[in-house]
Amino acid sequence: MSHAAITRRAAVGMLAAAGAGFALFGPRPDSDRAARGRLVIDYWEKWTGHEGRAMQHIVDRYNQSQDRAYVRYFAMAGIDQKSIVAIAGGNPPDIIGMGNFSVPAYAESGAIMPLDDLAAAHSITPDRYAPAVWPMLTHKGRLYAIVNTCGALALFYNRAAFRDAGLDPDAPPRTISELDACHERLVRQSADGRLERVGFLHMEPDWWTWHWGYYFGTSVLTPEGDAAADHPANIRAYQWARSYPQRLGVERTLRFQAGFGFYGTPQHPFLAGQVAMTNQGPWLANLINAYKPDMDYAVAPFPVHDDFYDPDQPAGLLDSDVLVIPRGARHPEEAFRFIAFTQQPENVEFLSAAHCKNSPLATSSADFLASHPNPFVRVHAAVASSPRAFIFPRMRTWEQYVAEFNAAMQRIWRGNAEPAAALAAVRRAGQSQIDEARAAAARRATARAGSSGGAGRGPGSAG
Amino acid sequence: MSRAANHAGPATDRFAGQRIPPTLVGLLWISPWLAGFALFMALPIALSLAYSLTDYPLLESPVWIGLDNYRALFSDPLFARVLLNTGLFTLMYVPASTALSILIAVLLNQRVPGLWAFRTAVYIPSLVPVVASAMIWLWLFNADLGLINLALRVLGLEGPNWLGSPAWALPALVIMSLWNIGQPVVVYLAALQDVPRPLLEAASLDGAGPLRRLWHVTLPMISPAILFNVIVTTINTLQVFAIPYIMTEGGPDNSTLMYSHYLYNNAFVYMKMGYASALAWVQFLVVLALTGVLWFASHGLVHYRAA
Amino acid sequence: MPAQRPANPREQPLPGRNAPLARAVILALLAAVALCYAAPLVWMISTSIKPEEQAISRDLRLLPDPPGSTPAHAASNYSAVWTDPSIDFPLYLRNSLLVALLGVTGMTLSTAVVAYGFARIRWRGRSFLFAIVLATMMIPFPVIMAPLYVIFAQLGWIGSLKPLWLPAWFGGAFHGAFNIFLLRQFYMGIPKELDEAARIDGCSHWGIFWRIILPLSRPALAVVALLYFTYLWNDFLGPLIFLNHRDQFTLALGLQLYQSKAGNTPWNLLMAASTMVVAPVLAIFFLTQRTFISGVAAEGLKE
């Protein structure tokens, strides 16, 4: 017993010593050594894995191209939130990569720097980009972000499944009613009634629960920036969305969805043949190339409501990732040098191709289009440059508004709410968020005017 | 510090001419805590009260708005929702975990072979870091491939889509939280072992069977431990954060959005420090009130031994 | 084992006859309970040593097929996690250990000092302040977390590991109350005569503390250190709020990151990573069980 105690204590001591040793002399971030006295530029991004490696490649190129600055690339999930907290904490990185929908909120709260002067100095101008791109970078007339990559959503459809269901694989649906018809034909179930394949499901993926009205010719905001979630066309769109689980059976549909593999795995439902059509960005082709290279599929613009159809003006969401410089960044000018480097056409095209996205530039090189991993990149590019390409609404309270949409879509999808009622609730909640933000901004303006020249309280003054 | 402290013992005071009052010596010894308390507890509480009266988006300076944040709570449907969720979770978890841990402690208090292994098996899960627990249970609860549904399938049952369904997500979190009751079990076990043997023997001689002894002797004797544990568990449960945050992110359809999670979202996601502080104060007052109520309400039920 | 308290008489059965049938029932119940409690960890380890396609298969088997391939699969999974660039396990391990080392040292030392002030020195206001110490246990951490962030930002601690370990040096700040209580109780059990004797020998308070109280309190200090180590190792909310730089993540935060929202991480690797996070606490527990359990029991019987 006492022997055991002694050896046990020795073991604890050894464990503690090993732990302390590792803590004190263990691994350090290896980029610290690589910087070698150069100015260190911290760049936070959300991309890990394959996409992260492509961005890292650009960073490496930049680090080799000059010896003043050394860019350190950090990638992680939840970057938006981490970085805003870091800005508030007074310890932000120099560059943040974020979704363009965050730009209005960041800009209005003063979290990110206006870049007009720096961009002009590096001759980064609107005409270099596709027309829908620049509005994603600006807020109230000022430039706050530079585009990193962008992608336009379109309809991926499984040609083999079309053939199997007796549909023409060269005639993808162009309108909502054609989509409905294809979907009906594509539904397949097992002998015991389980779903094996469907044509289309609005919740696969569930990344853009707010955007269905856009294919019915409306938006979620009025031109004045007020909430318009329950615009009649929106209600029609969500009634349409709800009809899918209702006709398939809600319980059955949910159970079917629960068996879907995650994005990024070979079990992804489009690859696995469970969903024959999906509204996705060009990047889905990367997944197909990796896990199912011989899959017979094609891409077409996403169908729109029959009254709204125009073959020359495809509609679709143009999403983009942007680079911003946070307030309190230590080296904004050096940071922008790197951002400008990423905007050189060969770098833009390298990154876009590696991420399997269409290019944000106004024109793409023939080589880019020809060697792109997505053989249908031209479809995505056409959507991106169409006048009906739409972007995330530019509003400060987007995070909250979209949360309302996500919750409402869940209820609608599960048959727990009528679309009209659910969307009216979204509008009310969204509008009160908007009003609240406006009131706060007015209050703040008054407070500023009142205390002008007074004690200039810094942000986060702890008293 | 050492020299100053010297003066508390008058008999051996070396510096009799300049004795330092004992209160000062005492304060000096506890000064690390005093500083920590002032800076990391009292100040934050005061600040949080002050912030709760302002509009404070963290990145901009606070602007005084009086009681508007508190007023806004009443018209915030999510506030009602998180109160409901947290209340439901507490109402399910506290009784279930108390009953289960007493039951297990009573079982572990028997003389049977292999006791050490049983105790270890029950205790170990409470050591597992909460993030790792979350990963393990995400895997176990997986609708399609998780061990739980696989096991149910062996029994011929079709398990629900635990974390993906608004009806099942909260019960699923309760179930997984019941995995982590090592601490109360150890406490009840210690309390059970303090139950005087003569008392039980006397009851036994009076013809009381094991269940009657448990109900009429053992439970009353360990009731102070039960009370204390119920209070602590309730307070902790009302603050539950990490498990729902990691496992369900409050979903699906806000069915597992908890109070602390909503507070966190307001402070660090929506950057509404003022509103978050109002939420914090409400939480603080609720915890205080509940502690008081539990304390006084159960005074009649609890058996305190004469010291 | 001079530094350990004598073991409690743990094997104390209910009086009366323990009929064989009753014993069998109890044994069966215990076995069922233990199985339920052990199964998740067993399944975690089992998943962590299987190749991905077997990990997500519907067969209920503990070892990979063929069982002989276990070491190879285990090695490949664990080394995949250890070297995965998206989690930087070695760095997070170092950060966790650093926080634990600095935090545990600070907590143990500072609460030992503070408890001395409450236990061995008689002064006015002592009971009142001690009541406040106990009352702080009722304060929910979420209540103070947002202002704490602002305070740490003002102190310039954001962007470092300091928010996680430095407050521990101040009487444990928001987690120290119980430890102060525990040590005070322990000190009060040490005979006063020892102090008197030391004082006659010319010892100051510091001398008494350092030469008499501390050495005698080793078991209680061990409890404080152990409990706080597991607390720090498990802590998720603190790192989540106060750490923004990926370089500074602790294991708990890194593990959550690893299970990213998109869910790209295969289950077998996720379970291997979880096993690696769990292993150190379990090792410490098995080596220090008795100290550990006595501390946990004390924590629950404060009154």
pLDDT of C6: 37
Name the β-bridge partners of A42. Answer: A72
pLDDT of B2: 41
- Rounded Cα gap, residues A94 and B251, in angstroms: 34
Can you give the C-alpha Rg of chain B in angstroms?
A: 25
The residue among A339 and C303 whose pLDDT is bigger is A339
Q: Which two tokens stand for residue B123?
A: 């205790």
Distance from CA of C100 to the nearest CA of B (A): 14
Residues comprising chain A, all counted: 463
**First-to-final CA distance of chain C:** 29
Q: Which of residues 402-441 of A touch C (CB under 8 A)?
A: none
Residue A146 DSSP SS3? strand
- A118-163 pLDDT, tens digit each: 999 999 999 999 999 999 999 999 999 999 999 999 999 999 999 9
Name the β-bridge partners of A227. Answer: A221
- Rounded Cα gap, residues C98 and A23, in angstroms: 5
Instruction: State percent of chain C over pLDDT 70.
Output: 90
Helix boundaries (H) for chain B: 2-5, 22-29, 31-37, 43-51, 68-74, 77-108, 115-123, 130-140, 147-154, 169-177, 182-193, 197-205, 210-213, 219-221, 223-238, 242-247, 259-264, 273-297
pLDDT of B6: 42
Q: Report the range of poorest mean pLDDT among A14-28, B77-91, C36-50, C239-253.
A: A14-28
Name the β-bridge partners of A318. Answer: A152
Mean pLDDT of C238-266: 80
Torsion of CA A195, A215, A168, A244, to 10 degrees: 20
Name the β-bridge partners of B96. Answer: none
C143 touching chain B per CB within 8 A: yes
Decide: residue B205, CB within 10 A, 0-12 exposed, 13-18 middle, 19+ buried.
Answer: exposed
What is the number of other CB atoms lying within 10 angstroms of the CB of residue A258? 16
Q: How confident is the model at residue C264 (pLDDT cuts 50, 70, 90)?
A: low
Whether residue A458 is predicted with pLDDT greater than 50 in this model: the reply is: no
Q: How confident is the model at residue B304 (pLDDT cuts 50, 70, 90)?
A: low
B273 touching chain C per CB within 8 A: yes
- B194-217 pLDDT, tens digit each: 888 888 888 888 887 878 888 888
C-alpha separations of A262 from A58, A205, A258, B150, B288 in Å:
28, 10, 10, 20, 44
* Residues 6 or more apart in contact with residue C184 via CB below 8 angstroms: C115, C118, C119, C130
Residue B124 DSSP SS3? helix
Closest CA to A147 of A366, A388, A342, A377: A342
pLDDT of B100: 96
Q: Does the complex come out with an ipTM higher than 0.95?
A: no
Whether residue C262 is predicted with pLDDT greater than 70 in this model: the reply is: no
How many CA within 13 A on the CB side of residue B221? 19
- Hey, are the CB atoms on A27 and C263 less than 8 Å from each other? no
pLDDT of A2: 55
Q: How confident is the model at residue B5 (pLDDT cuts 50, 70, 90)?
A: very low
Q: How confident is the model at residue C299 (pLDDT cuts 50, 70, 90)?
A: low
pLDDT of A82: 81
Q: Which of residues 144-203 of B touch C (CB under 8 A)?
A: 145, 147, 150-151, 153-154, 179, 182-184, 186-187, 189-191, 193, 197, 200-201
B66 touching chain A per CB within 8 A: no
pLDDT of A456: 38
- Hey, are the CB atoms on B136 and C132 less than 8 Å from each other? no
Q: Report the range of poorest mean pLDDT among A343-357, B13-27, B105-119, C156-170.
A: B13-27
Whether residue C39 is predicted with pLDDT greater than 90 in this model: the reply is: yes
Residue A40 DSSP SS3? strand
pLDDT of A264: 78
The residue among A45 and B271 whose pLDDT is bigger is A45
- C102-137 pLDDT, tens digit each: 999 999 999 999 999 999 888 999 999 999 998 888
Q: Which residues of C touch A50 (CB under 8 A)?
A: none
pLDDT of C8: 42
- Hey, are the CB atoms on B107 and C9 less than 8 Å from each other? no
- C171-193 pLDDT, tens digit each: 888 788 889 998 998 999 888 88
Distance from CA of A247 to the nearest CA of C (A): 29
Q: Which residues of C touch B2 (CB under 8 A)?
A: 204-207
B63 touching chain A per CB within 8 A: yes
- Rounded Cα gap, residues A23 and A19, in angstroms: 6
Closest CA to A286 of A256, A269, A263, A306: A263
Q: Which residues of B touch C118 (CB under 8 A)?
A: 30
- Rounded Cα gap, residues B72 and B55, in angstroms: 12
Q: Which of residues 304-333 of A touch B (CB under 8 A)?
A: 327
From the candidates B23, B25, B31, B33, which should be mutated to test the interface with C, based on the most C CB atoms within 10 A? B33
Distance from CA of B128 to the nearest CA of C (A): 6
Q: Which residues of B touch C13 (CB under 8 A)?
A: 109-111
Average pLDDT, chain B: 86
- Hey, are the CB atoms on B61 and A457 less than 8 Å from each other? yes
Closest CA to A460 of B56, B27, B187, C302: B56
The torsion angles phi and psi of A131, rounded to 5 degrees, stand at -60, -35
Residue B249 DSSP SS3? coil
- Rounded Cα gap, residues B159 and B142, in angstroms: 10
User: What long-range pairs does C152-158 form, CB within 8 A, spacing at least 24?
Assistant: C152/A89, C152/C242, C153/A88, C153/A89, C153/A90, C153/A91, C153/A460, C153/A462, C154/A460, C154/A461, C154/A462, C156/A90, C157/C242, C158/A86, C158/A89, C158/A90, C158/A91, C158/C242, C158/C244
B124 touching chain C per CB within 8 A: yes
Q: How confident is the model at residue B79 (pLDDT cuts 50, 70, 90)?
A: very high
C39 touching chain B per CB within 8 A: yes
pLDDT of C246: 78
Across the interface, which of C93, C150, C263 has its CB nearest the CB of A460?
A: C150
pLDDT of C193: 85
pLDDT of A21: 86
C-alpha separations of A119 from A114, A143, A149, A339, A347 in Å:
10, 8, 17, 9, 17
Nearest-by-CA chain A residue for B47 = A462
Q: Which residues of B touch A463 (CB under 8 A)?
A: 47, 50
Q: How confident is the model at residue A313 (pLDDT cuts 50, 70, 90)?
A: very high
Whether residue A361 is predicted with pLDDT greater than 70 in this model: the reply is: yes
- Hey, are the CB atoms on B107 and C56 less than 8 Å from each other? no
Whether residue C15 is predicted with pLDDT greater than 60 in this model: the reply is: no
- Hey, are the CB atoms on A86 and C280 less than 8 Å from each other? no
- In eight-state DSSP terms, residue A370 is H
| Inter-residue contact A84 to A93 (CB < 8 Å) | no
From the candidates B131, B136, B194, which should be mutated to test the interface with C, based on the most C CB atoms within 10 A? B131
Nearest-by-CA chain C residue for B259 = C142
Closest CA to A387 of A306, A320, A313, A309: A313
pLDDT of B42: 93
- B160-178 pLDDT, tens digit each: 889 888 889 999 999 999 9
pLDDT of A262: 79
C-alpha separations of A6 from A19, A36, C225, C285, C287 in Å:
20, 48, 19, 16, 11
Average pLDDT, chain C: 85
Q: How confident is the model at residue B7 (pLDDT cuts 50, 70, 90)?
A: very low
Mean pLDDT of A60-89: 86
pLDDT of C209: 92
Chain A partners (3+ C-beta pairs within 8 A)? B, C
Q: How confident is the model at residue B113 (pLDDT cuts 50, 70, 90)?
A: confident
Q: To which H or E segment does residue A42 belong?
A: strand A39-45
Q: How confident is the model at residue A373 (pLDDT cuts 50, 70, 90)?
A: very high
Distance from CA of C101 to the nearest CA of A (A): 6
Mean pLDDT of A355-360: 96
- Rounded Cα gap, residues C285 and C274, in angstroms: 17
Whether residue A30 is predicted with pLDDT greater than 80 in this model: the reply is: no
- The answer, yes or no, to whether the previous bond of B252 is cis (omega within 30 of 0) is yes
- Hey, are the CB atoms on C26 and B228 less than 8 Å from each other? no
A81 touching chain C per CB within 8 A: no
Q: Which residues of B touch C111 (CB under 8 A)?
A: 33
C128 touching chain B per CB within 8 A: no
Instruction: State percent of chain A over pLDDT 90.
Output: 72
- Rounded Cα gap, residues A302 and A153, in angstroms: 8
Whether residue B4 is predicted with pLDDT greater than 60 in this model: the reply is: no
Q: Which residues of A touch C104 (CB under 8 A)?
A: none
Q: How confident is the model at residue A267 (pLDDT cuts 50, 70, 90)?
A: confident
Angle between helices B77-108 and B223-238 (to 10 degrees): 150
Q: How confident is the model at residue B183 (pLDDT cuts 50, 70, 90)?
A: confident
Cβ pairs bridging B and C (under 8 Å): 339
Whether residue C4 is predicted with pLDDT greater than 70 in this model: the reply is: no
Instruction: State percent of chain C over pLDDT 90.
Output: 40
- A220-251 pLDDT, tens digit each: 999 999 999 999 999 999 999 999 999 999 99
Residue C17 DSSP SS3? coil
- A75-119 pLDDT, tens digit each: 776 777 788 888 888 889 999 999 999 999 899 888 999 999 999
pTM of the full structure:
0.82
Can you give the C-alpha Rg of chain C in angstroms?
A: 24
Q: How confident is the model at residue A5 (pLDDT cuts 50, 70, 90)?
A: low
Instruction: State percent of chain B over pLDDT 90.
Output: 45
